[in-house]
Structure 1
Amino acid sequence: PSLISILLAPKTKQRYAAIGGGSPLRRITEEQADALRTALEAKNLHANVYVGMRYWYPFMEEAIQQIKRDRITKLVVLPLFPQFSITTTGSSIRVLQRIFMDDAYLSRLPVSIIRFWYRRQGYIRSIADSIVTQLSKFEKPEEVLIFFSAHGVPVSYVENAGDPYKNQIEECIYLIMRELKARGARNDHTLAYQSRVGPVQWLKPYTNEVLVELGWKGVKSLLAVPISYVSEHIETLEEIDKGYKDLALKSGIKNWGRVPALGCTSSFITDLADAVVEALPSAKALSILRETAKESDCR
């Protein structure tokens, strides 16, 4: 990981410069947290909402220390990844479990972890709403190809480690397209994977290769849908909006659109609040879960 970081550093600086010098991810995430807190209050649940990030400030460890200071009595962990991957949600859960099990207070704190939520109707409908809005901006909406671009992961994680990410992405797209068809849309769609790094094989097909192929096949209108993200950041604002858009236009695609990340869309935030409320009754202390697992292993 250190070598990859060193190799990417100069290129990453250029990419951030292209979107104004920095990512809006932290600001948007904190706005989502504030919106979620308000939505929970509207449901008569007065809760603290903490933001913890895996690789940037505020780190998960900072959020956990604040949780300890506040002496909360129940915790719902809500990863902002709709689909589960061992590289994202899985990695964060492992860090959280390690910290919690080494702490007397945290190990007894009832916790409920929402591992994925891409099947939720509120989320699916919010995405479909955004797609319909963007389709209406094309001169001939019915001719637009809906292009889902998901963040890639190494193939080995899926094939050897059992990562469910690929299956969940595909099911998520199926649910979105089913919702669109129920509204009368009959657009074709396709899926590709972006953001690969290093020499290993990642999930295919690759977004850049598919865009060239679509242009060669005569596709003239395309709507990009970043399906792995709920916030704008470098992979939407630079990789998609600049790199992939330029490639698409050079490849013969004439009309380009992109669905914004959901951000603080009210229907989306309301659905996240519903997910939190629904998760609360199942909260259990990690120490209890570990003892239950040990008992199961002994049977």
Structure 2
Amino acid sequence: MSPSFKSIALSLLISTAAVNSFSINSNKRVAPLQASTTIDITGASPSFNILDKSGQAQEAEDDLNVGVLLLNLGGPEKTQDVEGFLYNLFADPDIIRLPPFLAPLQKTIALIISKRRAPKSIAAYESIGGGSPILKYSNEQAALVQQRIKSKYDLDVNTYVGMRYWYPFTEEALEQIQEDNINALVIVPLYPQFSISTSGSSLRVLQEEFARNPSFQNKFSHTVIPSWYDRPGYLQSMANIIQKELDSFSQEEIDEQLESNEIAKHVLFSAHGVPQSYIEAGDPYQEQIQKCVAGIQALLPTEQQGVKVHLSYQSRVGPIEWLRPYTDDVLPQLGKDGVKNLVVVPISFVSEHIETLEEIDIEYRELAEESGISNWRRAQALNTDEIFINDMADMIVEALEQPSQSVTEACVANNVGLVDLDLEEKGELGSAGVGGVGAVDDLTGAMRKKADERFFGRIAFVAVVTAILVEALTGQPFFGM
């Protein structure tokens, strides 16, 4: 016989209070996991097993409330918000990563970049209607997931949206969760692939808030779904959207393509890029992207059936090496190869926002057409796709039935501490990606860097900061976004 809702919630509250202890430094940023950190992740974690074997909710105690927190990037809803949004973005150490001796300049650099970049970003947002639709879609996703869980599982849950860089911030969502007396919380970053600069950064905020306000952990237990790039429903919904665009090519367009290229239709997955150094430090974002693309590709026609798949990375920032190939390099090359029929797929995003509506739809489309790619298609983001929403609901309920994974456990399992240590030693600038499982074993090795690497890394960072300051004084752009 399964334990009651109340007994499970109480046991989880006790266990997670013991597991989730965090330390933050003087500037309120969570300290990186150190080699001496001991976190027991070998034993079985408590389970949110609140469903019976038939899949229907058990009779609940009145004091058990289940919540679902969806985490996302956020975005300015009007042009007046753009500069503040950019400041929050670049004040995040996971976006602009400075070595410790330059860390005090973080906010100053963020202020400079946001002021310099605001006019160009405002123009970009004006080109898509004056603001980002990411909150609109996130709220719709939350409402539909809530409805689906109720209709399929007869389970009442409250859903919340917490944004990283603009309203409603994650901190606000946590306050509402506390006010609503939620005591079992499922945390879902709306990023299929785990990245330090996305999911990881959002989880750091939760770490800070849990450390700053212990009452959160005393009032509710939680579990994290750190990534879900291989979910069958997610893969199928992506494949369906792509297939719809593939089917839209006319016979005339297919005939035109076959005159210049032996493959009738081409699909380009454009993923958000991250610095190469993060991958080398243990960030598994690239691996998850590749596996995700392979999973979707398996549901599409093969190359022998007339569809060829390509992968590239977009949105690089700054002077350092990011994941290649770059989308703005791949498009001209495809044009040279005679590609005419192309479907571009934003693989890192589950809703429309500036990087789909402006960067892909306007900038990349213009580049593609200049390169001779005459028949352009863009697969829409998932938004409120029914299969996607249903799979999200199933995933959340499955998390309630499985052993819980705390915020700290999710960070350790995805190499967040390992990447921190390795990049601190190298002195790298940029944003981060996703991780594997072997973080604790590799922490010591990541700390073994030569003195000359640190020395030259610091010289490089002084040069970078100098360049940013020169940009502020001269008006010449340093970053490309």
| TM-score, structure 1 as length reference | 0.92
Q: Matched residues, percent identical?
A: 48
**For residue 153 of structure 1, what is the aligned residue in structure 2?**
274
For residues 32-111 of structure 1, the aligned pairs below 5 Å read 32-42=141-151, 43-108=153-218, 109-111=220-222
List alignment gaps of at least 5 residues for structure 1: 291-295
**For residue 25 of structure 1, what is the aligned residue in structure 2?**
134
Q: What's the offset of the Cα at 1:282?
A: 3.9
CA distance in 2, matches of 1:185, 1:72: 51
* Structure label with greater radius of gyration: 2
- Which runs of at least 4 in structure 1 moved beyond 2 Å after TM superposition? 3-7, 101-105, 281-290
Change (3 A) 1:288 1:265: closer
Question: Contact 1:97–1:286 at 8 Å: present in 2 too?
Answer: no
Q: Deviations over 1:41-97 (max 9, x none)?
A: 112111000000000111000000001111112000011100001111011111112
CA distance in 2, matches of 1:197, 1:235: 13
**For residue 6 of structure 1, what is the aligned residue in structure 2?**
115
For residues 99-248 of structure 1, the aligned pairs below 5 Å read 99-108=209-218, 109-140=220-251, 143-160=264-281, 162-181=282-301, 186-248=306-368
Q: What's the offset of the Cα at 1:104?
A: 3.0
CA distance in 2, matches of 1:132, 1:286: 37
CA distance in 1, matches of 2:393, 2:357: 27
Letter in 1 for 2:119: P
Question: Contact 2:124–2:358 at 8 Å: present in 1 too?
Answer: yes
List alignment gaps of at least 5 residues for structure 2: 1-89, 91-109, 255-262, 411-439, 442-481
**For residue 448 of structure 2, what is the aligned residue in structure 1?**
none
CA distance in 2, matches of 1:287, 1:31: 25
Question: Contact 1:30–1:51 at 8 Å: present in 2 too?
Answer: yes
CA RMSD of aligned residues (A): 2.3
**For residue 293 of structure 1, what is the aligned residue in structure 2?**
none
Question: Contact 1:74–1:283 at 8 Å: present in 2 too?
Answer: no
Question: Contact 1:101–1:287 at 8 Å: present in 2 too?
Answer: no
Change (3 A) 1:129 1:7: same
Q: Deviations over 1:105-151 (max 9, x none)?
A: 32242211000001010000000111111111111467110000001
Q: What's the offset of the Cα at 1:285?
A: 8.7
**For residue 256 of structure 1, what is the aligned residue in structure 2?**
376
| TM-score, structure 2 as length reference | 0.58
CA distance in 2, matches of 1:281, 1:10: 48
Name the SS of the counterpart of 2:155 in structure 1: coil
Change (3 A) 1:195 1:18: same
CA distance in 1, matches of 2:230, 2:306: 21
Letter in 1 for 2:120: K
Name the SS of the counterpart of 2:299 in structure 1: helix
CA distance in 1, matches of 2:337, 2:194: 33
CA distance in 2, matches of 1:41, 1:80: 20
Please, which moves more after superposition, 278-287 or 107-116? 278-287
Letter in 1 for 2:287: N
Identify the structure with bigger relative contact order (alpha carbons < 8 Å, sequence gap 6+).
1
Aligned pairs, number: 291
Q: What's the offset of the Cα at 1:240?
A: 0.5
Name the SS of the counterpart of 1:240 in structure 2: helix
CA distance in 2, matches of 1:169, 1:205: 13
